[in-house]
Amino acid sequence: MIQKQADIDREEHLERLRDHNTILIEGVRQSDYPSITIHRRDTREDRNLSALTNKYAVVSDDATVTKEYPILDFNTPHKVANFICTFHRQPSP
């Protein structure tokens, strides 16, 4: 399999950040890093959330999107931040 240069660079950058508790990054859905998946009801994307691994929550505007992960509401970013802080046992912002 041939990897794109951008994929190699991204993995190198992520490896440098491995000691950090939390980083915000987009586009690494298939990585082994623990993550929060974002799901929008109106995207018409039929995403099988049960097939995802290493996820610990879903941020969505659809409260019925999954029963396997906690669902965090898109419209309450402070609750998403509190969830992340609690997950890592850090003081809330």
Ordered by start, the domain boundaries in the chain are 24-87
Quick: pLDDT tens for 45-81. 666 676 667 778 889 998 888 888 889 999 999 999 9
pLDDT of residue 75: 92
pLDDT tens digit string along 33-55? 778 888 888 876 666 676 667 77
Letter string b/e over residues 67-89, b meaning 16 or more CB atoms within 10 A of that residue's CB: eebebbeeeeeeebeebbeeeee
pTM for the full predicted model: 0.68
The HSE-up count of residue 28 (CA atoms within 13 Å, CB side) is: 22
